[in-house]
Structure 1
Amino acid sequence: MKVFKKFIKYYKPYKFLFFTDMICALIVCLVDLSFPIILSYLSKNFFIKDRDTVLTGIIYIAVGLAIMYVAKYFCQYFIASWGHIMGARMETDMRQDLFYHLQMLPFSYYDENNTGEMMSKLVSDLFDISELAHHGPENVFISALKILGSFVILMMINVKMTFILFVVTLIMVIFSINRNTKMQKIFFDNRKKIANVNSSVQDSLEGIRVVKSFANESVEQKKFDVSNNNYLKSKVKSYKAMGEFIAGSSLFQGMLYLSIIVSGAVFIKDGTLKISDLAIYALYINIFINPIDVLINFMEQFQKGYAGFKRFIEVVETKPSILDKPGAEEIKNVKGNIKFKDVCFKYDDAHEVIHNLNINIDAGKTVALVGPSGGGKTTICSLLPRFYDVTSGSITIDDNDIRDVTLNSLRNAIGVVQQDVYIFSGTIRDNIAYGRPEASEEEVIEAAKGANIHDYIMSLEDGYDTFVGERGVKLSGGQKQRISIARVFLKNPPILILDEATSALDNESEKYIQKSLEKLSSGRTSIVIAHRLSTIRNADEIIVIKDRGIKEKGNHEELLKKGGVYSYYYNMQFEGLNA
């Protein structure tokens, strides 16, 4: 019932369409139920009259029936068109809710869940839910009315024969409920298996350049075959279950016809049933069985839609662990004084990555974090914009605890340039303007100039309208990096995080980008993560992060004199270069 209530709320914006759809379904149902009654009445009371009366009256009857079936035509048109439109709108609303909620979930959710599975929930699951949203109420409503209406009329024709019919139908319902429970589990497994297929495809296609560079197409094919065959096995189970369900339902329908023939023969011989009434009874049996057929076919659709909606609910009810606290205020006029006080952090149940970290960064200063991979440098930087929340301790900006300010204002105050740059499919202008979507053309160009990428852009045939391809495949690593720097120039934040922004570049690209970064960092509070120690020699303070905490800190000259960890790494790098 909880799932049902959550499903029902998506009908609220479309009450008019829903109730009009139900009224149309009612009219269609009444038309179908009325024909055998009309035929029975005409046979017993009208066709026995004289020829002239019949010929005159049949014209009016024909006109009445024509009006009735024209009304049915328009009602069925509304059901088939606007009923589906209602379902499509509900699907759109659900997809919007799901996508918006996915945007709200923290990095930790994406650490644990695959993009391919999310795509499966956004596309295939919601299509099945849409079909259920439209056909579900309509099929159940029409079928219930036809079954109930025909059952009442059958009772009026012969109570005893209808009671026999009822007993057979009841056994059929019990059978259906039993098979339905089994199918529910199987269809839910279907959803998981197709999500695994989508995940495998997404993973392989995103890494297609790596696949081809290692000539590992056969490896990816084997991995895909595993998930694809698992899905096939799940589908085979579902079709076997459906086969048992449909075949069993067909058997019971046969039993319904059998019970009518046998009991009809007995009651005709007893004189309690007329042969003409048996003919009408047979017509209503078809009306009685047809909605049962509809419900049988609907069961597969219901199970798919129900399984999809449960998976949908699992995501939208996942509570974001990082939210604005009640009463959170915007942080304004940020100067950039940052303090990490006794900060500890761990990922879920893992060991601590950071332990009792204390760092003070004055406004406008540049602090570099160095140390071995896995030491926690990137994690420290991820805590500042609250991509993750500290396990204990606190982080403040201008003496404001970052948990007390709104996420939007906090992240607007921080610009991040990462090593792994993400370029969106679209134009160069779109990608630079991502830093501030409302920016003018002049501001975009100014940002590009600040990042030393404007001249290159103008050398292209389409300039800023150049399409960059998926993930920026048409751009070099250095060009992508400079576009990401232009984004931050456009954003113009008071605090800057540079996470190994030049480590994957060649020396020439690094030279250009280093100049851009120096220009970008000017006058801002900057936290720099660097493996190339030559790039952070001028930092106001260098902090060596190792084994969950700070090992040493000072400026470049001070740390070299100490002859500690920093000195060791620095000399090792330059000895390697000299060699």
Structure 2
Amino acid sequence: MSKMYGGGMPGAGFGRMKFDDGQQKPNISKAMLLRIFNYFKPYWKQTMLVLFILLVSSLLGLLPPILIQRIVDHALPDKNMKLLVELVLISLGTTVVAGLLGVWQSYLNSFISQSIVYDMKNQMYTHLQRMPLQFFSAVKQGEVITRMTSDISGIQGVFNSTVINFASNLFVLSTTVATLVIMNWKLAIIGILIVPLFIIPTRKMGNVRWKLAKQTQEKMSEQNHIIQETLSISGYLLMKLFTREEKEYDSFRIINGESARLQIRESMAGRWFMMILSTFTSLGPMLIYLYGGYLFIHGEITVGAIISFVALLSRIYGPFGQMTNLYVDIKRSVALFERIFDYFDMKPGIVNRPDAQAVELTKQDIVFEDVCFAYQKDKQALEDISFTAASGTMTALVGPSGAGKTTITNLIPRLYEIDSGSIRIGGTDIRDMTLESLRSQIGLVTQDSYLFNGTIRENLLYAGSEASEEDMVKACKAAYIHDFIMELPDGYDTVVGNRGIKLSGGEKQRISIARVLLKNPSVIIMDEATSSLDTASEYYIQRAMHLLLQDKTSIVIAHRLSTIMAADKILVVKDGAIIEEGNHEELLLKNGVYTDLHSKQFERKAFSMDSQSPI
């Protein structure tokens, strides 16, 4: 649930992002801007075309106010209908052309921004695939989804609200100011005198909105975390069984309320800002009318020139207001980029060495030599683990929960990286093998078999889409699940539901075994594959395991000693160390931990059978 952060696999710091209390300022550095620019670089041709359209549009925008001056000062006083029609048609044509250019520009804007989002999401997904298991065992699910969805999708607006707005406003400002100066430099100075007043509230407003934006994103991550944990199938069942609906609802309601209040504050902060700007923008035209009227009275300017001047002045205040607001938008956008780059800056813990080679694991021994591993620096999980799992044999791991058995098996496919020692297969250190060649030849069956919310066929073919129908049926028959599948209404095309909820534990487990059979790996790891199954399911699973493990190098973890009594070698693990080693008979003679485990299990079984007998 949303408040469970219990042990198991600590994240070694992967979950500690750069979250702050809202006091940290955005790092708008040269390096940050260059890094952002690199995402736009592949689309420089489209960007240059957009800039050209913006330049043409800014020039076309000058024509209507200038034409108004000619209409007022010439066409109307002279009662020249032909000139009036010509000027109106030119103005209309200019508007139509500008509109068409705007449509083209909008398409290019959308193409560029969506392409950047597409690239960034692909990069993020690939990057997360390379992250070690420690990362996912520590980070909140909602946090990952927020970074992948709303954070990256928010970048789409950055191109439109920053890059495009900046270029558009720059072109409009430069062309308009030049035109105003040419028309009347005195009025131009009066109009431009208002501009510095825009700067006063901008910087403070930028910091306020940035802080609120970052806090809002953090609250959204918390919301997503609660949704993922409590409305996933496992979390939902746990919530129902422990009747935690009210408490979880209260947690969600509180965070949702905080998020809503932050968004209201951000929205209102922007409104106050725009109100101040609008007050300043209305002051300029009044001064133009005042001073322009004075010049008209003295015969220095025409009425048309005043009207045209006021119309052009709006082309300064509007863009300049947006330019000052652009500073606010940039600071808000940096909050998104910082969160995204936080993830990109996390280095994958397990990667191929430069000289790594693809290897064949068939009929190769697995050798652990003095292996040490810790999830956290101050807590050793495994210490000096040494053993050999001979080729074509079964090596079993037994011991109390939390002893380190699963950790040992997770080290073989390099889901975690050892701290010291070595793990060799066929004499080659697994760190000298490519990850793909290593993992592609290892099959893993766990107690909690994961099935995607798709058909049985899709789940089976996850092992290899090239497998034929005959191979799939053969694997399912070997796993004693084919007959059950054929009894279903849709057979192999039956949808199993989220995490395979429509199937029993034994059915899911046998499908999982069939999937591994389709993969046909050289090394098999089975982690508590039968511990939670009923007797009938365990019987079928054991028969399937017999076929699965034939001629394979296998490592099996089991709490039920009955499943591994025939193992070639049994390792007893306790407190991260191997304390006993041998086959079943040899370990019983040692009268140690294994003997104690054996006695307790079979005494419990005998007691259970006696308790069911009639008195």
Same fold (TM over 0.5): yes
Instruction: For residues 284-329 of structure 1, give each alpha carbon's deviation from its aligned partner in whole angstroms, at most 9, with x where no partner exists.
Output: 1222222245456766765554322322222122210100011211
In 2, are the aligned partners of 1:370 and 1:544 still within 8 Å (CA)? Answer: yes
TM-score norm. by structure 2 comes to: 0.88
- Residue number in structure 1 paired with 2:578: 550
- The alpha-carbon distance between structure 1 residues 315 and 496, as it changes in their structure 2 partners (threshold 3 A), is same
- Residue number in structure 1 paired with 2:349: 321
User: Of residues 588, 593, 610 in structure 2, which corresponds to 1:560?
Assistant: 588
User: In 1, distance between residues paired with 2:258 and 2:535?
Assistant: 48
In 2, are the aligned partners of 1:128 and 1:304 still within 8 Å (CA)? Answer: no
Alignment partner of 1:223 is 2:251: yes
In 1, are the aligned partners of 2:449 and 2:512 still within 8 Å (CA)? Answer: yes
My pick for the range that moved more, 513-522 or 123-132, is 123-132
What secondary structure, in the 3-state scheme, does the structure 1 residue paired with 2:62 have? helix
In 2, are the aligned partners of 1:328 and 1:405 still within 8 Å (CA)? Answer: yes
- Residue number in structure 1 paired with 2:547: 519
What secondary structure, in the 3-state scheme, does the structure 2 residue paired with 1:497 have? strand
My pick for the range that moved more, 151-160 or 563-572, is 151-160
Give structure 2 stretches of 5+ with no counterpart: 1-29, 608-615
Alignment partner of 1:203 is 2:229: yes
Quick one: percent identity of the two aligned structures? 34
1:61-100 → structure 2 map (5 Å cutoff): 61-100=87-126
In 1, are the aligned partners of 2:177 and 2:316 still within 8 Å (CA)? Answer: yes
TM-score norm. by structure 1 comes to: 0.94
User: In 1, distance between residues paired with 2:31 and 2:49?
Assistant: 26
In 1, are the aligned partners of 2:199 and 2:324 still within 8 Å (CA)? Answer: no
Alignment partner of 1:337 is 2:385: no
User: In 2, distance between residues paired with 1:347 and 1:267?
Assistant: 81
Instruction: For residues 453-502 of structure 1, give each alpha carbon's deviation from its aligned partner in whole angstroms, at most 9, with x where no partner exists.
Output: 11111111111111111211111111111111111101111111101111
Alignment partner of 1:279 is 2:307: yes
In 1, are the aligned partners of 2:191 and 2:313 still within 8 Å (CA)? Answer: no
User: Of residues 402, 405, 419 in structure 2, which corresponds to 1:374?
Assistant: 402
Question: How many residue pairs were aligned?
Answer: 576
- Residue number in structure 1 paired with 2:25: none
- Residue number in structure 2 paired with 1:496: 524
My pick for the range that moved more, 209-218 or 225-234, is 225-234
Give structure 1 stretches of 5+ with no counterpart: none
User: In 2, distance between residues paired with 1:369 and 1:164?
Assistant: 86
- Residue number in structure 2 paired with 1:116: 142
- Residue number in structure 2 paired with 1:147: 173
User: Of residues 93, 105, 109 in structure 1, which corresponds to 2:131?
Assistant: 105
User: Of residues 306, 319, 340 in structure 2, which corresponds to 1:291?
Assistant: 319
My pick for the range that moved more, 298-307 or 135-144, is 298-307
1:236-247 → structure 2 map (5 Å cutoff): 236-247=264-275
Q: Which amino acid aligns with 1:142?
A: S
- Residue number in structure 2 paired with 1:451: 479
Instruction: For residues 515-565 of structure 1, give each alpha carbon's deviation from its aligned partner in whole angstroms, at most 9, with x where no partner exists.
Output: 111210111111111111111100111111112211111110111111100
User: Of residues 219, 228, 233 in structure 2, which corresponds to 1:193?
Assistant: 219
- The alpha-carbon distance between structure 1 residues 264 and 41, as it changes in their structure 2 partners (threshold 3 A), is closer
In 2, are the aligned partners of 1:184 and 1:307 still within 8 Å (CA)? Answer: yes
Alignment partner of 1:429 is 2:450: no
User: In 2, distance between residues paired with 1:83 and 1:319?
Assistant: 33
RMSD across aligned C-alpha pairs, in angstroms? Answer: 2.3
My pick for the range that moved more, 286-295 or 534-543, is 286-295
In 2, are the aligned partners of 1:242 and 1:300 still within 8 Å (CA)? Answer: no
What secondary structure, in the 3-state scheme, does the structure 2 residue paired with 1:538 have? coil
- Residue number in structure 1 paired with 2:7: none
| Distance apart, 1:352 and its partner CA | 0.6
1:454-533 → structure 2 map (5 Å cutoff): 454-533=482-561
What secondary structure, in the 3-state scheme, does the structure 2 residue paired with 1:347 have? strand
User: Of residues 605, 608, 614 in structure 2, which corresponds to 1:577?
Assistant: 605
| Distance apart, 1:89 and its partner CA | 2.4
User: In 1, distance between residues paired with 2:588 and 2:366?
Assistant: 26
User: In 2, distance between residues paired with 1:216 and 1:333?
Assistant: 48
- Residue number in structure 2 paired with 1:10: 39
User: In 2, distance between residues paired with 1:192 and 1:263?
Assistant: 52
